[in-house]
Structure 1
Amino acid sequence: MGRLATIVGARGFVGARLQARLAADGWDIHAPKKGDPDLLTRDLGVVFYCAGLTADYDRRPFDTVEAHATLVSRIIEADRFDGLVYLSSTRLYDGLPKAQVAEHEPLVFDPMDPRRVYDLSKALGENLTLTRAAGRGRVARLANVYDWEAGAPGFLSEWLIRARTERNIVLDSSPAVGRDYIHLDDVVAALIAIAQTETPAIFNVASGELVTNAEIAEVFEAAGWRVSFTGQATPAAPPNASIARLTALGVRPASVKDVVAGYLKGLA
């Protein structure tokens, strides 16, 4: 029998790929459905807490708090796990007026902003994981995760999926928008590595590089696609998250431009 993993949110974008990788590596997988009454009474092994709301968090604030903080609080209180990896987000750095940020930075939130329910609930989940799990909790702050499987969420994922059937792509965004992108497979490798660390800590799961839409469009155009944008906004770049802790674990995420170039080559 292999090592036991419980994936909360196993049907989601990250959770489904994580489950496939762990199963291939010989882990025994428990993938409870939402509302599973046995979740708090059975042995869970290593918990990968992948549950959460992204696009609709502002429309569903109470569900957001339940997914990001309440359920993980119950799991920690039940104390039936060997380890816990809590998935959070590098968007928690957005309130910091700095170009470069690392995991030790104190975070800044405006509690009067209703859209901060995402950040505040994730921060509470992080706090519970790191301070109430008896040293068994780890936090993974994910950047913008992308892939090209059917239904993959996010701006870049949708762009890549469209490239299968469109050679002239018009995007509802601005070429100046920059983000840190990390491929889904690199995220999964990072989560498994984080689960095996001995010290409670926060890890930025990112590429460590901000890349603009214009730079990615250049990769598309070099491969034979045409890309245009409907917007011309020039927003301030988000803080760039350090990945020194992640690379110290032996995880070195691929450059988004290299991954996209390889993907497009396969479509040509």
Structure 2
Amino acid sequence: MRCTVIGGAGFVGRRLAEALRRAGHEVWVPARGDRALFTRELGHVYYCAGLTADYAARPFDTVTAHVTLLADVLRAGRYSHLVYLSSTRLYDSSNLPVGDEGAALTLQPANPRALYDLSKGLGENLCLTVAAGRAAVARLSCVFDWEPESPGFLSEWLIRAATERAFRLDSDGGFVRDYIHLDDVVHALTAISTRKAEGIFNVASGENVSNAALAEAFNRQGWDISLTRASPEQRAAICSTTALRALDVAPRGVLEVVSTYLEGIKTWN
């Protein structure tokens, strides 16, 4: 299968490109600004380009990555199927009990944070309205891994755990997130693409886990993790995974993955 991974140098794109190559697919990772993106046949496109942590400091780059470049790829039309990576963060401002892909979103243009949400929402809209059934949206929850330089709060815990048995984290025990391991994300994205699925898919575990519960998982395995603040567990939308599971994709729970990883560290050491 011919595959193109746009943003293939990033956290998700790099692991995805590696997995596709191992599976025997022809994989092209275009360099930034490569105009061949609009003239050659792209096959199955994974649109992983985007900004997360630094979107506020780079607003114009954010819009270019989330919308402008995507629009150019869709306009050129030289793809068989495209998967656009979005985020379950779009549910954060909606106060919904369940993050359902079909639910209406609440976005506030005057909120500085809305730059991220609105640009991702516009990218989703383009895929769902102008791609003539050849695109799907993957809303990723909090992706984690333990390889060096993996971004994100939980990734930092896991990387530190390989060399430190005790540390204190400046965080609140009541803060919750839906976490999904990077390998499960890759599996979900390839399933969406190979089946040429349409619509929106939450690529998530479907379970919100608090920082306190994560710290307890570490402590049960022999680590000494403490948090600076403790508050009641916050309420946040639970991501529906019904659509994803209909593709026979069932991501593992974060506590299971973390416990297995920590068991491995104890064995290695």
Q: TM-score, normalised on structure 2?
A: 0.96
Shift of 1:197: 3.1
| Identity level (%) | 53
Shift of 1:267: 0.8
- Measured in 2, the distance between the counterparts of 1:106 and 1:198 equals 24
Q: Letter of the aligned partner of 1:246 in structure 2?
A: L
- What is the aligned residue count? 266
- The residue number in structure 1 matching 2:95 is 97
- Measured in 1, the distance between the counterparts of 2:204 and 2:237 equals 12
Shift of 1:100: 1.3
Q: Letter of the aligned partner of 1:20 in structure 2?
A: E
Tell me which of 180, 198, 201 is aligned to 1:200: 198
1:110 aligns with 2:108: yes
CA contact (8 A) 1:174 1:234 kept: no
Alignment of 1:46-195 (within 5 A): 46-195=44-193
Q: Letter of the aligned partner of 1:134 in structure 2?
A: A
- Measured in 2, the distance between the counterparts of 1:70 and 1:174 equals 37
- The residue number in structure 2 matching 1:13 is 11
- Measured in 2, the distance between the counterparts of 1:199 and 1:89 equals 18
- The residue number in structure 2 matching 1:215 is 213
Q: Tell me, what secondary structure is at the counterpart of 2:172? A: coil
Q: Tell me, what secondary structure is at the counterpart of 1:170? A: strand
- The residue number in structure 2 matching 1:253 is 251
Q: Letter of the aligned partner of 2:94 in structure 1?
A: L
- Measured in 1, the distance between the counterparts of 2:264 and 2:196 equals 40
CA offsets, 1:71-116, max 9 Å, x none? 0000000111110000000000112122212100011100011221
- Measured in 1, the distance between the counterparts of 2:47 and 2:37 equals 12
- The residue number in structure 2 matching 1:240 is 238
- Measured in 2, the distance between the counterparts of 1:255 and 1:22 equals 24
- Measured in 2, the distance between the counterparts of 1:86 and 1:182 equals 18
- Measured in 1, the distance between the counterparts of 2:158 and 2:103 equals 33
Shift of 1:176: 0.8
In structure 2, do the counterparts of structure 1 residues 212 and 25 end up closer, same or farther at CA, with 3 Å as the change threshold?
Answer: same
- The residue number in structure 2 matching 1:44 is 42
- Measured in 2, the distance between the counterparts of 1:87 and 1:199 equals 14
- Measured in 2, the distance between the counterparts of 1:196 and 1:231 equals 44
CA offsets, 1:234-266, max 9 Å, x none? 573321110001111011011110110010011
Q: TM-score, normalised on structure 1?
A: 0.97
- Measured in 1, the distance between the counterparts of 2:34 and 2:229 equals 44
Q: Tell me, what secondary structure is at the counterpart of 2:125? A: helix
Structure 1 vs Structure 2 CA RMSD? 1.1
- Measured in 1, the distance between the counterparts of 2:51 and 2:229 equals 27
- Measured in 1, the distance between the counterparts of 2:168 and 2:28 equals 42
Please list every run of 5 or more consecutive structure 2 residues that lacks an aligned counterpart in the other structure: none
- Measured in 1, the distance between the counterparts of 2:197 and 2:210 equals 35
- Measured in 1, the distance between the counterparts of 2:234 and 2:215 equals 19
Please list every run of 5 or more consecutive structure 1 residues that lacks an aligned counterpart in the other structure: none
In structure 2, do the counterparts of structure 1 residues 199 and 167 end up closer, same or farther at CA, with 3 Å as the change threshold?
Answer: closer
Tell me which of 22, 31, 34 is aligned to 1:33: 31
- Measured in 1, the distance between the counterparts of 2:75 and 2:179 equals 34
- Measured in 2, the distance between the counterparts of 1:238 and 1:74 equals 35
- Measured in 2, the distance between the counterparts of 1:248 and 1:199 equals 11
Shift of 1:169: 1.6
CA offsets, 1:106-141, max 9 Å, x none? 111000112210000000000001111111010000
